[in-house]
Structure 1
Amino acid sequence: MPTPARNNHASSVQIQQPRTRSSLPPSPIAFKEQQGRPPPTTQQTITGKLFRNLFKGLLFSQLTLTSLLVIVLTIRGLILASSRHFHPKKWYPPLLASVSVSGVASLAWQCIFIYTPSRAVRATFWLSPILTCSVGILLVLIGSAVDAGIGAVFVLFAITQSLYGCWISPRLEYTDKILSLSTAFPPPRTREVVSLSIVVSVVYSGFLVTGIGGATSTRTNLDLLFISVILIGLAWTMQVLKNAQQVAVSRARYVNFAHGEDMDAWSALHVTVKHLIGSICIGSTLVPIIVLIRGSIRSVNLMSGSSDEVMYSGADCFSTLANKVVTCGNRWGFVHVGTYDKGFVEASSDTWKKFRSVNGLEEVIDSDLTSSLCFLSAVSVGAVSSLTSGIWMLLIHKDYALEVTLYAFIIGYFVGRVALAWLQACVSAYYVAYSEDPHSMRFDGTIPQRIQRLQMLRAHRDNRERERQESDESP
């Protein structure tokens, strides 16, 4: 990425240390020339290798079959272009334009994060609800009951985002600090890696759009199945692309944080694509599922605020389950996947054990807003993309306004996630490197101060809860 001006939060101690080795063991990677594969720290099991090769094969098989399906649907759609129910010249331009807009918006969004991270963090949490609500209003204006119902869902989602933004507002200052520290000096050639990822995601999305249009031209039940298959393939492929970038950038950033050496992000991406795709595919499948499970468990715990003993024991059981699930797959494991060539499950387990070995760090990790920030940023990109195509279709071909708007939102969201993966990678590398050597001079007091702050707040909450229980028990 372009070299930004020094941020007020960036620690000169953390970044500008002389190139001296810490107490950590020597890195398993040759820092100057990243030509070979990172040697694994443990002997990989046959089962692990089998699963990595299996998922790698599934990825390439999916890409091949999806491409063939898209080509067949596109050709069929061109043959049936004379159908009065489908007008390619009215359907394709708005959606393809929105795909291009998503790429431009993603580039602009991350540039804002680079040069003014503090403003970008705050802008994300108020701009995303506004844009999401605008999409909902646009769908309501289309006029049909189905459109109005889906538009109402978008408006409700926007309200939820607003409430969430109010709830997490006390954590924004820390988020600004940790983001500024971890991204102050990106690895060399990060700009090329991110730009390539965005271009690939935009081109691939545009290619799939042609297949969706071909299936839309006939609108049979089988075509609806084809469209669903294409969208599922898009989601998984974008996850793999995003996580491949995250592994490469986090590997390069970890080398700097842990060992004080610079590493080329482009070379890290080359090694990642050549050797680590299998583990990335496994992580791209597990992480969304585990995030959904853990999020559902947290929601249940928040709603079980009753003093009833059965409810309390149930919430405690769910909390235990959530703590077990997160060790099987988490996004911080991608750092060890890239650095040590571990299997994804093993990398996730080892990373989380490191977090738990530092008193209070797990609570800091759980309260981290980087994932929410990237999610809402991608939602904003998706909303901009859907507004572009939705307004266009509303003016020229209202019958297809709903589906084109939804397609544009989905594509824009995934392009936005790919574009901002490097931010999440830098923050993940910072946490992992800190957990392995908390006393390193390359880190300032940001995380220890946050740990102390959270412990004080927890103690304050416990005292208030104890006082409330004592007052309830008193006659």
Structure 2
Amino acid sequence: MATLNSTQPQVQPQSLHVQAQDSRFTNTATATGQAVKWFFQILFYMQLLLISALVIFITRYAHNLNSSSHHFHPEKWYPPLLASTLSAGILGFTWQCIIACYPRKSLIAAFWLSPLLTLAMGILFMLIGSAWSWIPGLVSLLSAAIQSMYGLWVNNNNRFKYATEMFQDSISYPPAKTKCLTFLSIIVATLYCCFLVYGIGGARAIENKTKLTNISILVIVLSLIWTMQVMKNAMQVTVSRVKYIFFTDHRDMKIGNAFCDTIKHLIGSVSLGSILVPVIVFFRGFARSQHLLGGKDGDCMFSCDSCAMGLTALLVSCANRWGFVHVGVYNKAFVQASSDTWEMFMKVGLQELIDLDLTGAFCFLSGVAIGAICCLVSGIWSLIVYKDYAMELSIYAFIIGYFICRLAIAWPQASVSAYYVAYAQNPQDMQFEQTIKLRLEQLRVSHLQSPITAESEEIRRAYLQSP
């Protein structure tokens, strides 16, 4: 396996602040992987160009028709959504600062704030009172109930203790200028979201002139989601590379150099991963829900459940968020990086421990909480000013708030990913203290003490092992 080229000798672990190593690295991607990287890099930049052209065209066209259009009220449509977008940027940056200062308290707080804010968001949709607003309202209320039960289940299984220790160990000593890079990323993301908000408003303003309004809005929203995912994962690749080098070689690398390398060489892999990972996470959640709800009802259901869990294991081994670490460190194609990373986890027995990790759930719940606040800001404002826009603007505000928050807290998630991958490469390194080792021993003891049926063992092995 090729490694980063370094122009400096290795230093001792206690020397934390040293000159960054050379940012150049050897390309270890296969020919197929390299072709895929180039394709998705071109595709990503092309969609940015086309969406920008579409937004500019729609906005100019809507401005020319504004004098003759009376069904759209820009002074009532734009301010609530732009205010919620600005709130998302402020809240996202504030939350990541709180995480850096109080990692234990912030992790626990997310599990309790998110259900409450989701419940408030559901009540808001109910208060809007339209027929369509009941759908997101019921979804929000159901989601709040599920989040509450999940938080209680996690608390009853004593998973917070390990999660908080692991989280604190991982994000200790954040790379220099991490907050600066996060702040600049949030500014860019907020401005980009405001730009797309004007495009959505322009499309809504000309809906009487064309039948393509809803399609245009859908395209803009999908572009926003993919672009924000790419920005978040680009941040994750950058920070995980710096932290991985710190954990394995005990040296610092300038985060600016790592970010420039990500933009120049890795956007293709990041773009592909930004598509694959959310889809696989959704399928994985569906498969696990099927297992919990109906895995033991009958032979047919059990068979389908085993197939679903086995397919999930295969998909996760080919595309997972841990692969972003090797994407940044070794310039691998995303699928290749994910497979290599998962194979390392298999060798050292980390699969079950990773499955119990709460970092992904914490980041998701944080995004939901910030998104819910933005939804409340936009929704309440719209209810006061012009009720007809309340549901639409609330949904847009939630989407924007969620993704800006995920971008803001990408660096803690990247730190945890780098910690696990670095441990899998060298479990004997004293840098990792005893957190992971003690947790692995606790899991072994619990398995020995708890009887497991043959069916449950079969499902567990199908899930933890990939073909």
Asked whether the two chains share a fold, i.e. TM above 0.5, the reply is: yes
Q: 1:434 aligns with which of 423, 427, 430?
A: 423
Q: For residue 14 of structure 2, what is the aligned residue in structure 1?
A: 18
Q: 1:104 aligns with which of 83, 87, 90?
A: 90
Counterpart AA for 2:112: W
Q: For residue 205 of structure 2, what is the aligned residue in structure 1?
A: 217
- Please report how far the alpha carbon of residue 109 of structure 1 lies from its aligned counterpart in structure 2 after TM superposition: 0.9
1:228 aligns with 2:200: no
Q: For residue 24 of structure 1, what is the aligned residue in structure 2?
A: none
Counterpart-to-counterpart distance in 1, 2:329 and 2:290: 36
Q: For residue 415 of structure 1, what is the aligned residue in structure 2?
A: 404
Provide Cα deviations, 1:294-336, integer angstroms capped at 9, x if missing partner.
2222222222342644433333332222221111100000000
Provide Cα deviations, 1:221-263, integer angstroms capped at 9, x if missing partner.
3110000000000010001100000000000000011111011
Counterpart-to-counterpart distance in 2, 1:131 and 1:81: 37
Q: For residue 380 of structure 2, what is the aligned residue in structure 1?
A: 391
1:141 aligns with 2:127: yes
Counterpart AA for 1:57: I
Contact 1:34/1:268 (8 A) holds in 2? no
1:116 aligns with 2:92: no
Counterpart-to-counterpart distance in 2, 1:138 and 1:81: 31
Counterpart-to-counterpart distance in 1, 2:197 and 2:63: 13
Counterpart AA for 1:172: F
Provide Cα deviations, 1:175-209, integer angstroms capped at 9, x if missing partner.
11111001011011111211111111101000000
Provide Cα deviations, 1:269-311, integer angstroms capped at 9, x if missing partner.
1111111111111111111111122222222222234264443
Q: Quick one: percent identity of the two aligned structures?
A: 47
Counterpart-to-counterpart distance in 1, 2:65 and 2:381: 23
Counterpart-to-counterpart distance in 1, 2:121 and 2:347: 45
Counterpart AA for 2:162: Y
Contact 1:17/1:441 (8 A) holds in 2? no
Counterpart AA for 2:445: M
Q: 1:74 aligns with which of 42, 59, 78?
A: 59
- Please report how far the alpha carbon of residue 17 of structure 1 lies from its aligned counterpart in structure 2 after TM superposition: 3.6
1:385 aligns to what SS in structure 2? helix
- Please report how far the alpha carbon of residue 421 of structure 1 lies from its aligned counterpart in structure 2 after TM superposition: 0.6
Q: For residue 25 of structure 1, what is the aligned residue in structure 2?
A: none
Counterpart AA for 2:52: S
Counterpart AA for 2:377: T
Counterpart AA for 1:174: Y
Counterpart AA for 1:429: A
The verdict on how the C-alpha distance between 1:307 and 1:392 changes in structure 2, with shifts beyond 3 A counting, is: closer
1:265 aligns with 2:255: yes
Counterpart AA for 1:38: F
Counterpart-to-counterpart distance in 2, 1:184 and 1:36: 23
Q: For residue 191 of structure 1, what is the aligned residue in structure 2?
A: 179
Q: For residue 264 of structure 2, what is the aligned residue in structure 1?
A: 274
Q: For residue 196 of structure 2, what is the aligned residue in structure 1?
A: 208
Q: For residue 5 of structure 2, what is the aligned residue in structure 1?
A: none
Point out the more displaced range, 417-426 or 283-292: 283-292
Pairing 1:45-444 to 2, within 5 Å after superposition = 45-82=30-67, 83-169=69-155, 170-219=158-207, 220-306=210-296, 308-359=298-349, 361-444=350-433
Provide Cα deviations, 1:161-187, integer angstroms capped at 9, x if missing partner.
111111112211111111100101101
Counterpart AA for 1:37: R
Contact 1:81/1:88 (8 A) holds in 2? no
Aligned length: 438
The verdict on how the C-alpha distance between 1:307 and 1:455 changes in structure 2, with shifts beyond 3 A counting, is: farther
Unaligned runs of 5+ in 2: 1-11, 457-467
Q: For residue 23 of structure 1, what is the aligned residue in structure 2?
A: none
4+ residue segments displaced more than 4 Å: 33-36
Counterpart AA for 1:188: A
1:276 aligns to what SS in structure 2? helix
Point out the more displaced range, 144-153 or 305-314: 305-314
- Please report how far the alpha carbon of residue 456 of structure 1 lies from its aligned counterpart in structure 2 after TM superposition: 2.4
- Please report how far the alpha carbon of residue 54 of structure 1 lies from its aligned counterpart in structure 2 after TM superposition: 0.7
Q: For residue 460 of structure 1, what is the aligned residue in structure 2?
A: 449
Counterpart-to-counterpart distance in 2, 1:460 and 1:387: 47
Contact 1:334/1:348 (8 A) holds in 2? yes
Counterpart AA for 1:178: M
Contact 1:188/1:264 (8 A) holds in 2? yes
2:432 aligns to what SS in structure 1? coil
Contact 1:131/1:383 (8 A) holds in 2? yes
Provide Cα deviations, 1:324-360, integer angstroms capped at 9, x if missing partner.
111110000000010011111110000001111113x
Counterpart-to-counterpart distance in 2, 1:304 and 1:445: 38
TM-score computed with the length of structure 1 as normaliser: 0.89
The verdict on how the C-alpha distance between 1:460 and 1:311 changes in structure 2, with shifts beyond 3 A counting, is: farther
How large is the RMSD of aligned CA atoms in angstroms?
Answer: 1.8
Contact 1:257/1:442 (8 A) holds in 2? yes
2:66 aligns to what SS in structure 1? coil
Provide Cα deviations, 1:25-72, integer angstroms capped at 9, x if missing partner.
xxxxxx8345543213x4x33322211111001011000000011111
Counterpart AA for 1:51: V
Contact 2:30/2:333 (8 A) holds in 1? no
- Please report how far the alpha carbon of residue 92 of structure 1 lies from its aligned counterpart in structure 2 after TM superposition: 0.6
